[in-house]
Amino acid sequence: MSTTVIVAHNPPRRRQSKSEPPMMRIVLLGKSVSENSRVGNFLLERAVFDSEAPPDVVERIGGRLKDRHVTVINSPQLLQKHLSLRHITQAVRECVYLSDPGPHVIVLLLKHECSAEDQECVEKVLDCFSEQVYQHTMVLTTQNPTENNDILQKIIQKCCNRHFSLQGSSSPDDLLQTFEDIVQMNDGRHLDCAEASQCFKMKQQATESFSEGEKLNLVVCGSDGTLKSSISELILQQTDRSSAVDLHGRVISVVELPALFNTRLSEEEVMRQTLRCVSLCDPGVHVFLLIIPDASLTDEDKAEMEEIQSIFSSRIKKHIMILIMQNSEHQTAELNEETQSVIERFGGRHHFFGPTTQVSTLMENVEKMLEENSGEIFSTQLFLEDIWRKCEEMKKKIHSLETHLLSQGNEQKNWS
């Protein structure tokens, strides 16, 4: 499974004036893209969520209902039972980020045939938000019950007996009123995201206490989401226990960078995703692992590398290692001319990785790389400085072009 991707369809939050209607932020959690899309579209009264969207996309879409500004953060895969805790905590971070400063309502989209595994999954996800999360949570079902389900009833009871059954006769106003009741019960307060952040920090500190080594932040990047996920899982190994594990004497945290060359995302959204990934690696990224195949590069591979170099600038060279994926057990250390060119372009470091490769050998090369860099990291501040520099360069180019066009206009007037 690939990493979670943010798609924000409305502008960043700004300070609300007294004349504006109040804001309500709703997080919609489920395990079916089509069902989540149906509920989100029903609430916003327009077809804004794609029922065929990838399951790893977390979307934020806003609208206005009656006298309310409503923002829906849709995470259609977070209640799937097979997710590791690492995937859950990262997806919860996305929901918290997109609902800043915090959601007013969390909606659990569940089926009536709930199992004990479903209940365990719900509790695991909600515990990652906050201890007070149930005060802001409700259950929503979209099917007529065939019989009473004890597990579902237990979940509803834990959510202060809040349950909405979406039927053909239901209206968005009915559902909105249920949300209003939850907001009123909480005196208008949203879920405290600072508390959720503290929860993440405590989990991280608890994990780091198992190792005396320093934390090592890795970002896995490339165009192939399946390869990125498989490498992440191999590095972290026991990801069901923690979002970071002790390996080769260090506590290691792995973040998967979404594919940057994506026609569905605007340039602003791509930059937001990239900044988020760097920010998740506080205080910064030690090593970027760029995955490429041990074969001719596809157009997607080439476009992805162009985008990485454009966004991160030449400063990424000393922090990047090319990870060459080999499918065959009969591996070779020979490099084709195209791959050699890529390695040289990104600083000269590479490592072969295949079915028989040990993670420990990769980590030895990473350790050597860290020694060469004297522990230096690619920090969020460094990334922001690059963005600022690019913005200033763009302003100068625009100013130069405007001056040139103005000069041409004056010349034409003089000739006439």
Residue where a domain stops, chosen among 169, 195, 221: 195
In a domain, residue 261? The reply is yes
Q: How confident is the model at residue 11 (pLDDT cuts 50, 70, 90)?
A: very low
Average pLDDT score over residue span 52-76 = 82
In a domain, residue 395? The reply is no
Q: How confident is the model at residue 26 (pLDDT cuts 50, 70, 90)?
A: very high
Residue 34 backbone phi and psi in degrees, to 5: -65, -40
Residues 97 and 243 in one domain: no
Write down the pLDDT at residue 319: 92
Average pLDDT score over residue span 12-23 = 53
In whole angstroms, how large is the CA radius of gyration of the chain?
24
- pLDDT over 50 (residue 204): no
In a domain, residue 31? The reply is yes
> How far apart (Å, rounded) are the C-alpha atoms in residues 91 and 30?
12
Residues 229 and 145 in one domain: no
Residues 104 and 218 in one domain: no
Residues 53 and 178 in one domain: yes
Average of per-residue pLDDT values in the chain: 79
In a domain, residue 415? The reply is no
Number of domains in the chain: 2
Residues 168 and 277 in one domain: no
In a domain, residue 130? The reply is yes
Residues 15 and 111 in one domain: yes
Residues 315 and 266 in one domain: yes
Q: Which of 389, 391, 381, 302 is nearest to 346 (CA)?
A: 302
In a domain, residue 144? The reply is yes
> How far apart (Å, rounded) are the C-alpha atoms in residues 54 and 50?
9
Q: What is the pLDDT of residues 95-148, one digit of tens each?
A: 888 888 889 999 999 988 888 889 999 998 998 888 889 999 999 998 776 667
* Residue tagged 């605007």 (tokens): 266
* Residue tagged 């992805």 (tokens): 304
Residues 218 and 70 in one domain: no
pTM of the full predicted structure? 0.51
Residues 172 and 32 in one domain: yes
Here the CATH number for the domain that contains residue 170 is 3.40.50.300
Residues 238 and 315 in one domain: yes
- pLDDT over 90 (residue 214): no
Residue where a domain stops, chosen among 172, 195, 218: 195
> How far apart (Å, rounded) are the C-alpha atoms in residues 57 and 49?
11
CB-based contact 216:286 (threshold 8 Å): yes
Span of 48-57, 162-171, 186-195, 249-258 with lowest mean pLDDT: 48-57
Q: How far is CA 227 from the centre of its chain?
A: 17
Pairing of strands 68-75, 137-141: unpaired
Domain carrying residue 358:
210-382
Q: Which amino acid is at 306?
A: E
Q: What is the pLDDT of residues 333-380, one digit of tens each?
A: 677 888 888 888 888 899 988 777 778 788 888 888 888 887 788 887
In a domain, residue 399? The reply is no
Residues 239 and 216 in one domain: yes
Residues 174 and 219 in one domain: no
- pLDDT over 80 (residue 22): no
